[in-house]
Amino acid sequence: MKKIILMLVIAAAAGYGVLSYHFVLFDKTFKIIKKTGVRYENTFVDARGAKKLKLALKPDLIAAGINDVIAQVDGTIKKEVSQ
């Protein structure tokens, strides 16, 4: 019984930890951004292709700093293309 309770506590802590971050998948990279609060919205985000523009309009992602991450990723892509 103690093992089951311990496993439930560990699973709850892991779930709480996962809900504290945005996991964003870009074309060639994967970024983790700290959320401003713990909630289910936009925990796993697909930002491949033209979907990056839609992300720049979501308030919770803007507060977390998604625009800076998009600019950083786009800057890296532009450097790779120009070389």
Taking the C-alpha atoms of residue 25 and residue 6, their distance in angstroms, rounded to an integer, is 32
pLDDT of residue 79: 53
At 10 the pLDDT is 96
- How far is 65 from 8, CA to CA, in rounded Å? 32
pTM score, two decimals? 0.73
Which parts of the chain sit beneath pLDDT 50?
A: 81
- Would you state the pLDDT for residue 80? 52
Which regions of 26-82 does DSSP assign to beta strands (E)? 30-34, 44-46
Rounded to whole angstroms, the Cα distance separating 45 from 51 reads 10
Residue 77, pLDDT score: 52
